[in-house]
């Protein structure tokens, strides 16, 4: 197997195991040398963050920061890249920034002063923006929405024609693709107009998946800020249902843990665990967040979804048949999107809570890409999020541009002797489920 023994997660880094299995020998040697991780520059106080050459005082602003406590991640550090990527199109963010007390940084305090990789990345990003890579394509947006509408219509048609399994499969994939689409809306990269993108996200995620867009943005931005960092990346807080990394267990002390369940997680993850996660989000976590934060538009969109499923369809199929079909389709949709998200991070190394690396290193060493495949079918299947390295470098860039940008990113990484980790779809699935099995047995002891 890809993961030789269950003792290796404690003694051998995940990066060595994964890359030795799949990377060319030359790149593997570079990885094993473990190019020193660049720390995030910054000599400011705990009540300051550094943004584009200026230290801003945030002690009184943290509690009213629209993005939540993510600001705490950057206390005393350089947040320039994170600010640029999260607020590319936000004039409001720039206005708020000007209201804070500030002081000029001195030479050497910025990451770009000390890190040649980050400096080259900033220059490359500026060039990409100049060339129009961050501009939206309205035809592409229209196509994406037309696709999910057509898939829902086809799925319902098949159900009414008696092709139950085929209809549920189409509806499940359509639900998953609503998740892909709302993801792009949450990153403000659909139309480029933030209020409209958020409205599209609310509609797509609420009616298409029964979930909260505001909750997703709050949590997902923390993941993007510091992927695979313990006590920072919320995607590592997965207990009691699943555990992707042993180190993550020690940082979730209050979470209930069943060794027997975790031991079986590789077999349970597709459909059962994915379904339970989706239902917990849909039935409790997300509507609760929408209600507490007064996002009534989200609740209305969720109501449209459940009203159609349980208010209209039982008239034709009966309540119990409708409930069973809804559970099956929901499970298919959850498995489709959660499993495909899992291949990008879950088997890669974690960053310890007290350690820091640069924005570029987070993307380079704690995410990976999946090859496009024959006819670029993986690009469609994963809605271009198989280019996770590019997505984490440029989260506000329209995702369909990632394949073209990837060529430049590879050159940047090669210049600085950083491996560009990519696998085939089959290899990515193999290593993801091998990791689930390995962690499950190691946790069981």
Could you tell me the pLDDT band of residue 41, with boundaries at 50, 70 and 90?
low
pTM score above 0.95: no
Could you tell me the pLDDT band of residue 131, with boundaries at 50, 70 and 90?
very high
25-39, 95-109, 241-255, 341-355: range with lowest mean pLDDT = 25-39
Q: What is the pLDDT of residues 237-259, one digit of tens each?
A: 999 999 999 999 988 888 888 99
Q: What is the pLDDT of residues 332-343, one digit of tens each?
A: 999 999 999 999
Could you tell me the pLDDT band of residue 59, with boundaries at 50, 70 and 90?
confident
The reported pLDDT for the residue numbered 108 is 85
- Whether the CB-CB separation of 89 and 194 falls below 8 Å is answered with yes
* Strand 369-370 versus strand 54-57 pairing type: unpaired
The reported pLDDT for the residue numbered 2 is 39
Judge whether residue 274 has pLDDT over 70.
Answer: yes
- The more confidently predicted of residues 332 and 46 is 332
* Strand 369-370 versus strand 422-423 pairing type: parallel
State the average pLDDT for the chain.
89
The reported pLDDT for the residue numbered 44 is 64
Q: What is the pLDDT of residues 13-24, one digit of tens each?
A: 443 434 444 444
Q: What is the pLDDT of residues 361-383, one digit of tens each?
A: 999 999 999 999 999 999 999 99
The arithmetic mean of pLDDT across residues 407-419, rounded, is 97
The reported pLDDT for the residue numbered 4 is 38
Q: What is the pLDDT of residues 278-298, one digit of tens each?
A: 999 999 999 999 999 999 999
- The more confidently predicted of residues 37 and 365 is 365
Judge whether residue 52 has pLDDT over 60.
Answer: yes
Q: What percent of the chain has pLDDT over 90?
A: 76
The arithmetic mean of pLDDT across residues 315-326, rounded, is 97
The arithmetic mean of pLDDT across residues 3-13, rounded, is 40
The arithmetic mean of pLDDT across residues 181-209, rounded, is 97
The reported pLDDT for the residue numbered 334 is 97
Give the C-alpha separation, 239 to 77, whole Å: 30
Could you tell me the pLDDT band of residue 206, with boundaries at 50, 70 and 90?
very high
Judge whether residue 1 has pLDDT over 80.
Answer: no
Could you tell me the pLDDT band of residue 42, with boundaries at 50, 70 and 90?
low
The arithmetic mean of pLDDT across residues 403-427, rounded, is 97
The arithmetic mean of pLDDT across residues 349-359, rounded, is 93
- The more confidently predicted of residues 42 and 20 is 42
The reported pLDDT for the residue numbered 69 is 80
Q: What is the pLDDT of residues 142-166, one digit of tens each?
A: 999 999 999 999 999 999 999 999 9
């Amino acid at each position: 197997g890809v993961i030789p023994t269950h003792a290796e997660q404690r003694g051998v880094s995940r990066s060595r195991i994964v890359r030795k299995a799949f990377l060319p020998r030359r790149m593997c040697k570079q990885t094993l040398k473990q190019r020193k991780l660049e720390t995030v520059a910054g000599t400011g106080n705990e009540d300051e963050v550094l943004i584009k050459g200026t230290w801003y005082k945030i002690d009184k602003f943290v509690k009213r920061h629209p993005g939540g406590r993510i600001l705490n991640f950057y206390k005393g550090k350089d947040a320039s890249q994170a600010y640029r990527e999260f607020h590319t199109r936000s004039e409001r963010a720039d206005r708020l920034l000007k209201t804070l007390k500030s002081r000029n940084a001195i030479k050497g305090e910025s990451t770009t002063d000390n890190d040649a990789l980050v400096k080259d990345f900033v220059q490359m990003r500026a060039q990409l923006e100049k060339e129009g890579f961050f501009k939206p394509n309205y035809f592409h947006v229209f196509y994406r929405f037309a696709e999910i509408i057509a898939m829902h219509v086809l799925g319902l048609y098949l159900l009414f024609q008696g092709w139950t399994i085929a209809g549920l499969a189409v509806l499940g994939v359509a639900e998953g693709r609503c998740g892909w689409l709302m993801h792009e809306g949450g990153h403000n990269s659909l139309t480029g107009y933030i209020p409209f993108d958020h409205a599209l996200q609310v509609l797509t995620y609420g009616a298409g998946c029964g979930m909260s867009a505001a909750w997703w943005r709050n949590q997902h931005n923390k993941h993007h800020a510091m992927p695979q960092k313990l006590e920072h990346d919320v995607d590592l807080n997965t207990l009691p249902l699943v555990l992707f990394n042993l180190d993550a267990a020690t940082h979730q002390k209050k979470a209930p843990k069943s060794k027997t369940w975790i031991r079986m997680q590789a077999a349970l993850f597709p459909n059962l665990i994915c379904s339970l996660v989706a239902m917990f989000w849909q039935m409790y976590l997300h509507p609760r967040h929408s209600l507490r934060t007064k996002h009534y538009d989200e609740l209305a969109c969720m109501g449209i979804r459940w009203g159609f499923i349980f208010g209209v369809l039982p008239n034709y199929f009966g309540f119990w048949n409708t409930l069973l079909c809804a559970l099956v389709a929901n499970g298919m949709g959850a498995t489709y999107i959660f499993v495909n998200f899992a291949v990008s991070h879950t088997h890669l190394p974690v960053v310890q809570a007290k350690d820091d690396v640069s924005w570029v290193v987070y993307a380079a060493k704690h995410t990976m890409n999946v090859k496009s495949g024959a006819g670029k079918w993986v690009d469609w299947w994963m809605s271009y999020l198989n280019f996770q390295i590019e997505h984490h470098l440029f989260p506000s860039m329209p995702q369909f541009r990632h394949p073209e940008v990837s060529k430049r990113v590879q050159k940047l990484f090669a210049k600085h002797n950083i491996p560009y980790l990519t696998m085939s779809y089959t290899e990515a699935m193999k290593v993801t489920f091998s990791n689930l099995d390995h962690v499950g047995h190691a946790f069981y002891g």
